[in-house]
Structure 1
Amino acid sequence: MALSVDLNSDMGEGFGPWKMGDDAGLLRIVTSANIACGFHAGDADTMAATMRLAVEHGVGIGAHPGFADLQGFGRRQMQVPIPTLANMVRYQVGAAQAMARAAGGEVGHLKLHGALSNMACHDEAMARACFEAALDVAPDIVIMGLAATVMETVARDLGCNWAGEIFADRAYNADGTLVDRRQPRAMIHDAGEAAQRMVEFVKAGAILAGDGSRLETRIDSICVHGDSAEAVALAQAVRDGLTEAGIEVRPFGGQPL
């Protein structure tokens, strides 16, 4: 059976008159969009515009909830009580559903943002609270999370629809988590290098960490961050590289583990 993988990007991350990323450019390339829900970035107008473009391009819509941290872009770790965290996720998923339906689409998946995602990769209680909250609101939603981490363990236990994600523009630790952004070479800016790595990961069916270790896992989707200057070029290079390697780029199915 031919290999296939989804290509996603985080977007809708502007706020008011402040714009971030080339969402229109990315929506011509990716097959899924994770759209900010107003807590770490985004607002009603930005959500509406981004979702409308996603529908026009036939791109899958995902809710992308984060911490209530506009100034820190959701990348600062915050200590939030579990019941409050669950309500924050429900609130953001509900907003995404309303805006997607108004644009003629539907929210198909959930992907946690930034520090919330990074913390949930290690903290089972956080991951469970976030995922159960999303499933409360949308029982059939696909949970997208970092492959081969605690997130995947929780999704397996919940029996929910799951999409394992890897990152084209981030370096990996041996345990499948992302190298801290403050560390050297945590971010990958070279489009050719990103494309080559993703082809290698998908063909291997594994995360290949910087120390040479290999972590076998199901890979359903590849993410290119939308907030960098090189995002469009990198996404195009990754898509072209996958296609040239005989790997079909298409929306994920999101089946249980």
Structure 2
Amino acid sequence: MNNLNPDYNKLRRKEILLRTQKQDKKRSFSLSPRIVRFLKNLAYSVVLIFVIYFAVFSPTFRIRDVKAEGIETGEIYDRIALDMMGKNIFLINIAGYLKKITAEFPVIEEARVVRGLPSTLRVEIKERDVALIWCNEKCFEIDNRGLAYRETQNSPTGIVVSDKSNIEINIGDKVVSQKFVDFYKKSIDAFERIGVSVSEASVEDTTFKLSFKTQKGYTVIFDTSSSLENQIYALEQIIANGDQEIGEYVDLRVEGLAYVK
């Protein structure tokens, strides 16, 4: 019956029209998921750009303090401080810098750099230990691996190894093998143990032959490729019988034998 009422039908059509307009109005203000994602990404990008800009250009992250551990050579610290002070702590190439500084200072055996935010750099250095002094025209400190890392005039033991072949040596050169260095150091200890004082050591054409000059004037000749214990034992037997019989040298290079002259 209501359908027959023209006023009712008119009101009904008006109500439907208003409801449709409201729905269309709501849809017109909604954002698609794609637009929402774009706006989020844009916001993240703006924040990221701000953070990067702040980290790179803010004075907060400029290096103001360089702390050093294990550095005994003052020149190393001075160089690192000069190179690093005022630089951005995020922009330094640590691997590249360590390669550069170890090339400039061969005395550095190991190095490590740690960033301490916001403005402190900690540098940990291990310097090489001198194992022996090697001399030809110049004298060099040699480390446990046989590397020449610094010129010197002094020997911690008072003993130097004289290179009679006079081969030219430069800083950073591998002069002798680690095996030779070990043999040399153990020889020094063995001489002390058996009570023989030595004043110098020498090599000639090969490092397989190592000679020590004793305080009594004779020379002890070793083969560095053979057992040191066996050679020292042979030397002890001669000394036990009186080293007065040794004139110029005792040659221990033949296993089980000792040639005395």
Structure scoring higher RCO (CA < 8 A, sep ≥ 6) equals 1
TM-score, normalised relative to structure 1: 0.20
TM-score, normalised relative to structure 2: 0.19
Larger relative strand fraction: 2
Larger relative helix fraction: 2
